């Protein structure tokens, strides 16, 4: 019954905020990702450098910009679904429902996490797939892309997408106590700067302990926000 109620609340929130319309923003972002990779390829080629040393390097760069984009995007969702609801007092209406506040907030945070996971995972798969097709047609990498390499990158992309979903809740740490939209978004930008720095074939996010630790931190912050919601004065 509890899970069914949360599911109904999620559907209600999606309908209330017309969240399906965000597919346009996601689509525009993906076009931007493709353009960014194309720009890197063109600039490096014009300087007679090898644009991408291997497929892993492409996935590394792609993963970094996709995560950065949708972590920040998720912070705007947190502002819209949670912070603004408090600031505009509209959450008072929801708190009059015969439903525990915890379940209402849990539904909102699950939307943020699900959005982050699916946008990060599907964007990586879509653009990575397009790159594989482009490579097969134009041979733009020094070596070949093996099936095992594609499979391994698919598995790692799934894992990193899950981790990013947890990380997307970290901005609540500073945004929730003060009900501050700027604090929420600035925290997300700081996170992106922290984990998004990429040099050659290395990124901080590729150290397995980093995404795991940050994801657990995000989940813990989300848990604390839900646990303490009954004590929050909405006035």
- The pLDDT tens digits of the residues spanning 92-115 come to 777 777 788 899 999 999 999 999
Tell me the residue range of the domain where 114 lies: 2-231
Task: Supply the pTM of this predicted model.
Answer: 0.92
Tell me what percent of the residues of the chain surpass a pLDDT of 70.
96
Overall residue count recorded for the chain in this entry:
235
Query: Which pLDDT score is estimated for 82?
Result: 94
Average pLDDT of 161-181?
96
Please name which of 104, 79, 68 lies closest in space to residue 189, comparing C-alpha atoms.
68
- What letter does residue 83 receive in the DSSP assignment? I
Average pLDDT of 151-161?
96
Query: Which pLDDT score is estimated for 110?
Result: 97
pLDDT of 1 higher than 60: no
pLDDT of 77 higher than 90: yes
DSSP string, 176-189: HHHT-HHHHHHHHH
Distance CA 24, CA 47 (A): 35
Contact between 156 and 67 (Cβ < 8 Å): no
Distance CA 136, CA 5 (A): 48
Query: Which pLDDT score is estimated for 45?
Result: 78
What band does 228 get if pLDDT is binned at 50, 70 and 90? confident
Query: Which pLDDT score is estimated for 197?
Result: 77
Average pLDDT of 146-154?
94
DSSP 3-state of 76: helix
Domain count, the chain: 1
Contact between 234 and 92 (Cβ < 8 Å): yes
Indicate the range of 90-99, 119-128, 208-217, 226-235 predicted with least confidence: 226-235
Please indicate whether residue 51 or residue 86 has the higher confidence score (pLDDT): 86
Query: Which pLDDT score is estimated for 42?
Result: 85
Query: Which pLDDT score is estimated for 230?
Result: 67
Please indicate whether residue 131 or residue 235 has the higher confidence score (pLDDT): 131
Average pLDDT of 164-168?
98
pLDDT of 36 higher than 70: yes
Q: Which residues of 13-27 are buried (b: 16+ CB within 10 A; e: fewer)?
A: bbeebebeebeeebe
Distance CA 151, CA 171 (A): 32
Indicate the range of 107-111, 133-137, 150-154 predicted with least confidence: 133-137
pLDDT of 234 higher than 60: no
Query: Which pLDDT score is estimated for 48?
Result: 74
User: Using one digit for the tens of pLDDT, what is the confidence trace for 172-202?
Assistant: 999 999 899 999 999 999 999 989 877 766 7
């Amino acid at each position: 019954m509890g899970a069914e109620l949360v599911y109904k609340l999620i559907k209600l929130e999606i309908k209330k905020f017309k969240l399906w319309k965000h597919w346009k923003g996601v689509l525009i972002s993906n076009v931007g990702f493709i353009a960014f990779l194309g720009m890197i390829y063109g600039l490096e080629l014009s300087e007679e450098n090898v644009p991408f040393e291997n497929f892993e390097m492409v996935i590394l760069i792609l993963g970094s910009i996709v995560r950065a984009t949708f972590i920040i995007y998720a912070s705007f969702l947190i502002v819209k679904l949670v912070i603004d609801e408090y600031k505009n007092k509209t959450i008072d209406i929801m708190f009059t429902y015969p439903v525990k506040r915890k379940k209402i907030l849990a539904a909102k945070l699950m939307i943020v996490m699900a959005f982050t996971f699916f946008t990060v995972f599907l964007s990586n798969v879509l653009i990575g797939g397009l790159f594989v097709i482009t490579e097969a047609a134009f041979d733009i990498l020094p070596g070949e892309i093996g099936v095992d390499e594609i499979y391994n990158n698919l598995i790692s992309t799934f894992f990193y997408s899950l981790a990013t979903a947890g990380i997307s809740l970290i901005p609540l740490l500073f945004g929730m106590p003060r009900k501050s939209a700027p604090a929420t978004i600035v925290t997300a930008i700081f996170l992106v700067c922290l984990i998004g720095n990429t040099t050659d074939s290395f990124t901080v996010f590729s150290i397995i302990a980093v995404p795991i630790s940050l994801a657990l931190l995000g989940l813990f912050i989300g848990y604390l926000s839900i646990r303490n919601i009954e004590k929050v004065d909405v006035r």
